[in-house]
Amino acid sequence: MVLLLKTFNRHEIIYMSFAFDSLLKIDLLGVRMHVGLIFILLILGIEFVAHPTSIGRMKAFIRTNWSILPFFGYLFLQFILNKAFPGAIMLLLYYFLALISFYYFFKKHSSISKQSVIMFQWIMVTTGLFQFLLFKIFGFQLSFYEVEHYMVDASFATRMRGFFVEPNWYSIVFSFNTLLLAMILKRKILEYKVLILLSFVCFYFNASYTSIAIVVLVLLIQAPQNIRYISKTKLITTFSLVLIIALVFAGRVYDKRKSSNQIVDASTAVNYGSRFFPVVRTYDFMTRQSSVKQFFGFGLGSWPYVGIEENRLGYIGVHVTNKVEPGKRDSAEIQVFMLEFGFLSFIFLFFDYFYNYMKYRKHNLFYAIACVFLASCFFIYPIFKFMMYIVPFYLMRSIVTERNEIIDKT
């Protein structure tokens, strides 16, 4: 611990703590919060009290990230105009915590070194292998949630997830940090062969389609930058290796999902359409509403009541019931946003990611891909409440938009 404190500063330690995810989460005022986020709130609070007139960085944050303002304004307006649903204030709190997390890493990114990003990757690899081997060798499910959550015949119970509740959350954070690592190390990434190899192993056992796509894209993007330094023989060998890895990964995911999700009855079959059918049902429902409801939705926090309790629009699987809980999301955000905020919300939500993608796609493809990746998460994951934990993306965005080079302690 002493060596850790001597090697890394407090901002780096906070950054790396998010790789431990659920191990460092506690219940606080009805919200399950990460210790790292609590320290972020304390540090920013102390700094504000000590220097209440020092708002230069906040102005810089707004000026640099002005494209998030349309959705922020729309969300806040939704909350002001419609407070009828329990859970609305909690959802607004989750979004504010995500903004605070983003602002902190924007403000402190110049104090975070390459070594801490590398260490973050090592933590993800180590905890992932530890959790996975515990399950595969000893049959022990490392649980930071209800243990019954993993006692089902589903892929998320058998895939690598490290200290995260679900393998998809592990995959998202791991993918973002891998992109960040590739961006800051550039050609020097080849000096970390063991870390690269073990990262591939973790992606393999995590068995995520999204993660595979990210890894392949990174490799394909990295190749043109190094093509003039590589002989034809090495180029052919590298291309063949990438192709083999992609095929092996694809086969692994297919076999994993097939063996983990045997269709035994009609209700289980619905599990395969958990992301498609709720969107179709919700879209059909919304097209039959008034123009006002179609454009502006039913209000923040309305999904559990209007979407689930009254109209059964959500994901109905063999292990998932329509239990109404304030602030509850569904199998993905797309149908929830459609109902709660209306069709107009998609313009505000995706404007930020589209703007950043178009602005940086020629200058920093790693970041451009990260923007597309995060936007796509809304279509396939219930990511709204998880936004406060995607700290590698916030660090990556801050480095790119501020046009700074991350520090190197070597």
Residue 91: closest CA among 82, 285, 278, 374: 82
Region class of 404: left (phi > 0), else alpha (psi between -120 and 50), else beta: beta
Counting the structural domains of the chain, the total is 1
Joined together, the tokens standing for residue 105 give 């890493």
Evaluate whether residue 291 is within a structural domain.
no
In the 8-state DSSP scheme, what is residue 318? Answer: T
Residue pair 314/308 in contact by the 8 Å Cβ criterion? yes
pLDDT at residue number 98: 96
Distance CA 13, CA 5 (A): 8
Evaluate whether residue 287 is within a structural domain.
no
pLDDT at residue number 199: 92
Evaluate whether residue 229 is within a structural domain.
yes
Joined together, the tokens standing for residue 23 give 């191990």
* Phi and psi, residue 25, nearest 5°: -100, 140
Evaluate whether residue 288 is within a structural domain.
no
pLDDT at residue number 281: 92
Q: Give the three-class secondary structure for 320.
A: strand
Q: Which residue's entry shows tokens 């995810």? A: 21
Q: Count of residues for the chain?
A: 410
One digit per residue, the tens of pLDDT, for the chain of length 410 reads 566 667 899 999 999 999 999 999 988 876 788 999 999 999 999 998 887 766 778 888 999 999 999 999 999 888 887 767 888 888 999 999 999 999 999 999 999 999 999 999 999 999 999 999 999 998 888 887 666 666 655 566 788 999 998 899 999 999 999 999 989 998 888 889 899 999 989 988 888 776 666 656 655 665 565 555 556 665 566 566 666 666 665 665 555 555 544 444 444 444 446 778 889 999 999 999 999 999 999 999 999 999 988 888 887 543 455 567 888 888 899 999 999 999 999 999 999 999 998 898 878 888 988 998 899 899 889 999 999 999 999 999 999 998 766 767 66
Distance CA 340, CA 20 (A): 32
Evaluate whether residue 57 is within a structural domain.
yes
Q: Containing domain of residue 259, as a range?
A: 2-264+346-401
Distance CA 192, CA 190 (A): 5
Evaluate whether residue 182 is within a structural domain.
yes
Distance CA 103, CA 43 (A): 12
Evaluate whether residue 72 is within a structural domain.
yes
Evaluate whether residue 90 is within a structural domain.
yes
Instruction: For CA atoms 172, 177, 183, 189, give the dihedral sign.
Output: negative
Residue pair 340/370 in contact by the 8 Å Cβ criterion? no
Distance CA 203, CA 208 (A): 7
